[in-house]
Amino acid sequence: MKIWSTEHVFSYPWETVIKAAMRKYPNPMNPSVVGVDVLDRSLDTEGRLHSHRLLSTEWGLPGIVRAILGNTQTRTYVKEHSIVDPGEKKMELCSTNITLTNLVSVDERLVYRPHPDNPEVTILTQEAIITVKGVSLSSYLEGMMARRMSANARKGWDAIEWIIQNSERENLPLCDVG
C-alpha cells in the first residue's frame, strides 16, 4: 500500500474553480478519460449537491506489465462521488476504480476550499491510497502508480486552469438561443 498526497493553490475564487471542476472533462490534459456519466444526482436536506458519476478511462498500463499480469483489458471504470456544499464553500470528491479491482485499487480524495485568509484563492488538497494486489510486483507497481498520480495531478490542475481560461475567455452561453 502506498499513500500519496499533495496540495495545489488556484489563483481563482472558489466558485470559479468549482464550476470548472464540475465540467472538467473533456480537456486536452486528461485524454485518458474517454467518458463521463452521471449515475445519480440529488440535493440533501442541508442543501448540498451529491453527484455519483461513472468515468470511463484508458489507464494504458505499460505493455510489459500487461504481459506479466496477463491483463489485456485497458478500459477501466472509476466511480466518483462528489459533494458540493455552497454554504460552507467546500467541494469534496472521492473516487475508486470498480474494475481491475483484483489487480489494483486507487482510492482518491480531493477537497476544494477557499484559502482561509484570501477568498480570491482556492486550495485543493488531494490524497490517494494505492494498493496493488499480489506479491511479486506490488512495490514496483505501487511506485509506478504513485509517480503517475503526481504526473496526473499536475495535468488535473492544468485542466482546471484550462477550463477556466477557455470558459472565461469565450464566455459563450451554454445553450443555443433561438
Partner 1 sequence: MNSVGEACTELKREYDQCFNRWFAESFLKGERGGEPCGDSFKRYQLCVQRAIREKDIPVDGVDFMGPNKDKPES
Residues that bind partner 1 in the complex, under the rule CB under 8 A: 15, 18-19, 22-23, 25-26, 34-50, 52, 54, 56, 77, 79, 81, 84, 86, 94-96, 98-99, 107, 174-175
State the Cα–Cα distance between residues 6 and 110, nearest whole angstrom: 10
Residue closer to partner 1, measured from CB, 16 or 153:
16
Q: How far is the CB of 107 from partner 1 (least distance, A)?
A: 6
Q: How far is the CB of 18 from partner 1 (least distance, A)?
A: 7
Residue closer to partner 1, measured from CB, 68 or 85:
85
Q: Which three cell numbers stand for residue 100?
A: 481491475
Q: Omega of the bond prior to 119 within 30 degrees of 0, cis?
A: no
Residue closer to partner 1, measured from CB, 46 or 170:
46
The neighbouring-strand residues paired with 110 are 93, 126
Q: Which amino acid is at 144?
A: M
Residue closer to partner 1, measured from CB, 26 or 71:
26
Q: How far is the CB of 136 from partner 1 (least distance, A)?
A: 26
- The answer to whether 47 and 86 have CB atoms below 8 angstroms apart is yes
Residue closer to partner 1, measured from CB, 33 or 69:
33
Closest CA to 73 of 101, 106, 31: 101
Q: How far is the CB of 140 from partner 1 (least distance, A)?
A: 25
Does residue 114 sit in helix, strand or coil? Answer: strand
State the Cα–Cα distance between residues 64 and 26, nearest whole angstrom: 29
Q: How far is the CB of 69 from partner 1 (least distance, A)?
A: 19
Distance of CA 134 to the CA centre of its chain: 26
